């Protein structure tokens, strides 16, 4: 599944999700998902990704907030017209859940701004019709 956010931000975020069957243990309520994120800079100046915020919600309504510096140990600077892509993962107690959040970036003039990440679904294949 792929989603993207376009809420007027010069930074567009698209996400593709994958169920990782080989690492999941449904009998122990452990469902592993990977997600690949592409961050595209549509502005006329460079932007450095400073931090991230995620809200992860499982099908039981359990919410986990994740925040920290950069992504996957990096704080990339994305030039005008450039993209940055990375892959990470999440573990849920249920076969379906959602993620949403934002990245905080700083442009070359030192101004910080948030790039929203629209809600996207994590789902074990064939669980939803």
Q: Return the pLDDT at 128.
A: 61
**Neighbour-count burial for 55-75, b at 16+ CB within 10 Å, e otherwise:** bbbbbeeeeeeeeeeebeeee
pTM: 0.89
Residue 110 included in any domain: yes
**100 found inside a domain:** yes
Q: Is residue 22 part of a domain?
A: yes
Question: Domain containing 56 — which CATH number?
Answer: 2.60.40.1470
pLDDT score at 9: 79
The answer, yes or no, to whether residue 68 has pLDDT greater than 60, is yes
| 105, part of any domain | yes
Return the pLDDT at 126: 82
Establish if 95 belongs to a structural domain: yes
pLDDT tens-digit map of 81-123: 999 999 999 999 999 999 999 999 999 999 999 999 999 999 9
Its domain, for residue 93, covers 11-122
In a domain, 1, yes or no: no
Domain count, the chain: 1
pLDDT (0 to 100) of residue 1: 47
In a domain, 3, yes or no: no
User: Is there a domain that residue 31 lies in?
Assistant: yes
């Amino acid at each position: 599944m792929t989603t993207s956010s376009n809420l007027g931000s010069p930074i567009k975020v698209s996400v593709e999700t994958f169920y990782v069957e080989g690492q999941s243990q449904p009998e122990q309520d452990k469902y592993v998902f990977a997600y690949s994120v592409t961050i595209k800079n549509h502005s006329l100046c460079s932007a450095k990704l400073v931090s991230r915020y995620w809200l992860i919600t499982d099908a039981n309504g359990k919410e986990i907030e994740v925040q920290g510096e950069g992504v996957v140990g990096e704080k990339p600077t994305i030039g005008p017209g450039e993209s940055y892509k990375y892959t990470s993962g999440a573990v849920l107690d249920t076969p379906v859940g959602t993620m949403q959040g934002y990245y905080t970036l700083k442009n070359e003039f030192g101004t910080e701004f948030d790039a929203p990440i629209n809600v996207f679904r994590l789902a074990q294949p064939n669980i939803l019709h």
